[in-house]
Amino acid sequence: MRKIVILTFMSLDGVMQAPGGPDEDGDGGFRFGGWTFPYFDEMLGKVMSEQMTPPFDLLLGKRTYDIFAAHWPKQPDTDPTATVINNAHKYVVSKDAADLSWRGATLITGDVVTALRKLKAEEGPVLQVHGSSNLIQTLLKNDLADELWLKIFPVTLGQGKRLFGEGTIPAAFKLLQCTTSPTGVIVAAYQRAGDVATGSFA
């Protein structure tokens, strides 16, 4: 059985929109594109390199897929990240048609939840989710995410698409590892761990 792992940059108030640049995603008038840049350091680069060590496949929403497809195939073969991403199989979740000319791309459409459950039941490498805010909401609403690999940045944005949107199911998670970068970014990995437990201090 395959795991679905969500890798996300997020602010202290849970925003994950447009972390990489000002033109990445301006939906809703979002004006803080590229908000991770001032905090990105050598340690975070090393973390990303370690987390993106094969084998893994990519599970992406169409917008993120299009951004990746416009960038990574154009990078030189000497770029190790480009080589890994270009060689990974890409599953593209979309209601619409998608350009699947990028090597190893497959479209998932229609009854997405059923299709993802079947994909998880197959043998194969971990499915990594990058960006893809709409897809992540589907995963969280339907208990399809096995792990969350978060980079939590010391900034609040006040607006934007949030990792945990309306409809996220109640769920417990186990902390697998946690560290902090010199710039104050918390790097934490969580594993799905059953139902929410309650109690009383009375």
CATH number of residue 46's parent domain = 3.40.430.10
The domain in which residue 145 lies consists of 4-183
pLDDT of residue 186: 98
pLDDT of residue 41: 96
Instruction: Provide the 10 A C-beta neighbour count for residue 108.
Output: 18
What is the band of 180 on the pLDDT scale with cuts at 50, 70, 90? very high
User: Would 107 be classed as within a structural domain?
Assistant: yes
Tens of pLDDT along 74-132? Answer: 999 899 999 999 999 999 999 988 899 999 999 999 999 999 999 999 999 999 999 99
User: Would 193 be classed as within a structural domain?
Assistant: no
**Mean pLDDT of the chain, nearest integer:** 96
User: Would 50 be classed as within a structural domain?
Assistant: yes
User: Would 170 be classed as within a structural domain?
Assistant: yes
User: Would 194 be classed as within a structural domain?
Assistant: no
User: Would 199 be classed as within a structural domain?
Assistant: no
pLDDT of residue 77: 85
Pair of tokens at residue 42: 């050598």
Tens of pLDDT along 158-172? Answer: 999 999 999 999 999
What is the band of 9 on the pLDDT scale with cuts at 50, 70, 90? very high
Sheet hosting strand 4-11, strand order edge to edge = 105-108, 90-93, 56-61, 126-130, 4-11, 147-153, 186-192, 173-180
Checking if the pLDDT of 64 tops 90, the result is: yes
The domain total for the chain is: 1
User: Would 192 be classed as within a structural domain?
Assistant: no
In this prediction, residues 55-69 reach a mean pLDDT of 96
Please tell me the pTM assigned to this model.
0.95
pLDDT of residue 85: 96
HEC string for the chain:
CCCEEEEEEEECCCECCCCCCCCCCCHHHCCCCCCCHHHCCHHHHHHHHHHCCCCEEEEEEHHHHHHHHHHHHHCCCCCHHHHHHHHCCEEEECCCCCCCCCCCEEEECCCHHHHHHHHHHCCCCEEEEECCHHHHHHHHHCCCCCEEEEEEECCCCCCCCECCCCCCCCCCEEEEEEEECCCCCEEEEEEECCCCCCCCCC
pLDDT of residue 97: 86
In this prediction, residues 186-191 reach a mean pLDDT of 98
pLDDT of residue 154: 98
Alpha carbon distance 114, 33 (integer Å)? 33
In this prediction, residues 47-70 reach a mean pLDDT of 95
User: Would 190 be classed as within a structural domain?
Assistant: no
